[in-house]
Amino acid sequence: MRVALIHDWLTGMRGGERCLEVLCELYPHADVYTLLHLPGRVSWSIEKMAIRTSFVQRLPRVASLYRYYLPLYPLAIESFDLTGYDLVLSSSHCVAKGVLTPPGTCHIAYIHTPMRYIWEEFRSYFGRRQHGWLGRGVAQLLAHYLRLWDVGSAYRPDYLIANSHHVAGRIRKYYGREAVVIHPPVDTRFFVPGDREDEYYLLVSAFAPYKRVDLAIEAFKALRLPLKVVGEGQERKRLTRLAGGPVELLGWVDDHELAELYAGCRALVFPGLEDFGLTPLEAQACGRPVIAYGFGGVRESVVPLNLGGEESGAVAGEAASQGAGGPGRRAAPTGVFFYEAVPEALARAVRAFEQHRDRFDPAAIRAHALQFDRAVFKERMQAFIEASYNAHRVREARPC
């Protein structure tokens, strides 16, 4: 069986690349197709694969400007010749799901998110503050074209997998299709509890507008509590101006330093609306609680402390709605939610967390994270892929 793995771009290790790592382990002889590959930016398990890139790889200053080439991405992803492959697995948060496959080829798409730049986060990326009225007008025209392509290409895969129930709902809304949910993996063998807790809070995020790092900076400056921020991105200059006092911007750190920061923090702060969000699981694998904006995919990975008055208790999604002991066992709390995307609401959640810190058990928090271990993800993915591929072969073998 010839297998092709399709991924949008390989420029760093985030949640999507963690999922791709597992696919590379399942299919070590597969070919990897991607719009752009910056060597050395992803793990060795991906780097060692046979990686093939598109014409985007040869565009000017692509390492720093690749986001600006977004209008070319549909053409680039459609340029790959996948003749001769029996199985195509796409890992898509942008255009990878839109790859063209030959008749008879089984295409399974793992959707991290519908293209957020053109749907619900369009104003965050292309508002007047960032681009002015002329730039926004051009962006609206391009977004219209990209939305048409995005919806049309959503019917190319034979099967869809969503990384959360939240994303499955957006797939249903934008594409009119159903998707099976398989949550992303966390490496619980690498992210482990430490032997001490420090006084600082931790935020780990790309510096993109929708991540709301600014909200956390403002809240912790008002609280006068130490916040360490790990990350980089297009909002670096603005966030640097906002930071200062108890807020420290660390830039990106390597995985070992990140694991130490998780294990030593008082709690992870997660202020944005996310499709799923892997950093809360990494923190919980280290036994650390999470203070999060209580909407989106985080509701499937964090069990909120019941503080009364706000929605709490059971959360959406089979994996997160039960305790580590199995069905019927009440889940131990692993975090605190806030429900308004303003610094004051986050500050109130931090104060509530400080008041109830003794209700968080590091062992129970880690036990919750174990439900999302890489081995669980690998087993579920392999079972779904094999069942779907076999069903596809039977369907293709039927006479017309």
The DSSP annotation for 153-178 comes to HTTSSSEEEESSHHHHHHHHHHH---
Whether 195 maps to a domain, the answer reads no
Question: What is the C-alpha to C-alpha distance for residues 291 and 387, in angstroms, rounded to an integer?
Answer: 38
Whether 260 maps to a domain, the answer reads yes
Same domain, 179 and 288: no
CA nearest to 89, candidates 49, 145, 39, 143: 49
**CA of 220: how far to CAs of 116, 319, 346, 388, in Å?**
28, 32, 9, 48
Top-confidence range, 138-142, 235-239, 260-264 = 260-264
Task: State mean pLDDT over 242-252.
Answer: 94
pTM comes to 0.88
CA nearest to 93, candidates 24, 4, 162: 162
Q: Average pLDDT over the chain, rounded to whole? A: 90
Q: Summarize pLDDT for 100-143 with one digit per residue, the tens.
A: 999 999 999 999 999 877 777 656 655 555 555 555 666 778 88
Whether 243 maps to a domain, the answer reads yes
Domain span at 135 = 3-185+375-397
In this prediction, residue 320 has a pLDDT band, given cuts at 50, 70 and 90, of very low
Same domain, 242 and 290: yes
In this prediction, residue 331 has a pLDDT band, given cuts at 50, 70 and 90, of confident
In this prediction, residue 311 has a pLDDT band, given cuts at 50, 70 and 90, of very low
Task: State mean pLDDT over 354-381.
Answer: 96
So what's the pLDDT on residue 124?
A: 61
Of residues 284 and 132, more confidence is placed in 284
**Tokens (6 digits) for 206:** 């790309």
Same domain, 362 and 294: yes
Domain count across the chain = 2
Same domain, 109 and 229: no
So what's the pLDDT on residue 64?
A: 87
Question: What is the C-alpha to C-alpha distance for residues 193 and 227, in angstroms, rounded to an integer?
Answer: 20
Same domain, 366 and 382: no
Q: Summarize pLDDT for 4-50 with one digit per residue, the tens.
A: 999 999 998 888 999 999 999 999 999 999 999 999 999 999 999 99
Same domain, 248 and 367: yes
Q: What percent of the chain has pLDDT over 90?
A: 78
Same domain, 27 and 100: yes
- Residue 176: how many CA atoms within 13 Å on its side-chain side? 6
Whether 196 maps to a domain, the answer reads no
Whether 265 maps to a domain, the answer reads yes
CA nearest to 319, candidates 114, 163, 160: 163
- The single residue listed with the structure tokens 């990326």 is 125
Which CATH number is 349's domain given? Answer: 3.40.50.2000
Whether 193 maps to a domain, the answer reads no
Asked if the model's pLDDT at residue 400 lies above 70, the reply is no
Whether 190 maps to a domain, the answer reads no
Whether 355 maps to a domain, the answer reads yes
Same domain, 147 and 286: no
Which CATH number is 21's domain given? Answer: 3.40.50
Burial class (CB in 10 A: 0-12, 13-18, 19+), 113: buried
Same domain, 39 and 165: yes
Same domain, 358 and 209: yes
Same domain, 150 and 250: no
Same domain, 170 and 21: yes
